[in-house]
Amino acid sequence: MIQNLSSFIYIYPYYLIPMEPIIELKGVFKNYGEKPVLKGINLSIDAGQVIGYIGPNGAGKSTTVKILCGLISDYDGKVTVAGIDLKEDPVAVKRKIGYVPELAELYDVLTPVEFLGLMAELYDIPKIVATERIHKMLTAFGLEANMNNRMDTFSKGMKQKVLITSGLLHNPDIIILDEPLSGLDANSVIIVKDLISKLAKDGKTIFYCSHMMDVVEKVSDRIILINEGQVIADGSFTELQAQQGNESLEKIFAHLTATSSLGEAANDLMKAFD
3-state SS record for 148-212: CCCHHHCCHHHHHHHHHHHHHCCCCCEEEEECCCCCCCHHHHHHHHHHHHHHHHCCCEEEEECCC
194 Rama class: left (phi>0) / alpha (psi -120 to 50) / beta: alpha
- Pairing relation of β-strands 205-209 and 174-178? parallel
The percent of residues in the chain predicted with pLDDT above 70, rounded, is: 88
Higher pLDDT, 176 or 212: 176
- Other CB atoms within a 10 A radius of the CB of residue 3 amount to 5
Residue 12, pLDDT above cutoff 50: no
pLDDT band at 184 (very low <50, low <70, confident <90, very high): confident
CATH of domain 17-259: 3.40.50.300
Q: What is the mean pLDDT of residues 169-197?
A: 89
Q: Distance (Å, rounded) from C-alpha 56 to C-alpha 227?
A: 7
Query: pLDDT by residue (tens digit) across 122-157?
Result: 999 999 999 999 999 999 999 999 999 999 999 988
Residue 8, pLDDT above cutoff 50: no
Higher pLDDT, 236 or 12: 236
Tell me what pLDDT residue 271 has.
Answer: 67
Query: pLDDT by residue (tens digit) across 65-119?
Result: 999 999 999 999 999 999 999 999 999 999 999 999 877 678 889 999 999 999 9
In terms of residues, how long is the chain?
A: 274
Q: What is the mean pLDDT of residues 223-234?
A: 94
Residue 6, pLDDT above cutoff 70: no
Higher pLDDT, 9 or 189: 189
- Please state, rounded to an integer, the average pLDDT across all residues of the chain: 87
Q: Distance (Å, rounded) from C-alpha 250 to C-alpha 214?
A: 7
pLDDT band at 266 (very low <50, low <70, confident <90, very high): low
Residue 3, pLDDT above cutoff 70: no
Residue 48, pLDDT above cutoff 80: yes
pLDDT band at 14 (very low <50, low <70, confident <90, very high): very low
The percent of residues in the chain predicted with pLDDT above 90, rounded, is: 58
What three-state secondary structure class fits 42? strand
pLDDT band at 245 (very low <50, low <70, confident <90, very high): confident
Q: What is the mean pLDDT of residues 23-52?
A: 94
Residue 20, pLDDT above cutoff 90: no
Residue 5, pLDDT above cutoff 50: no
Q: Distance (Å, rounded) from C-alpha 65 to C-alpha 10?
A: 32
Q: Distance (Å, rounded) from C-alpha 44 to C-alpha 134?
A: 33
Residue 213, pLDDT above cutoff 60: yes
Of 4-13, 155-164, 245-254, which gets the smallest average pLDDT? 4-13
Beta bridge partners of residue 9, listed in sequence order: 17
Alpha helices, H only, the chain: 61-68, 90-96, 112-122, 127-140, 156-168, 186-201, 213-219, 237-244, 249-257, 262-270
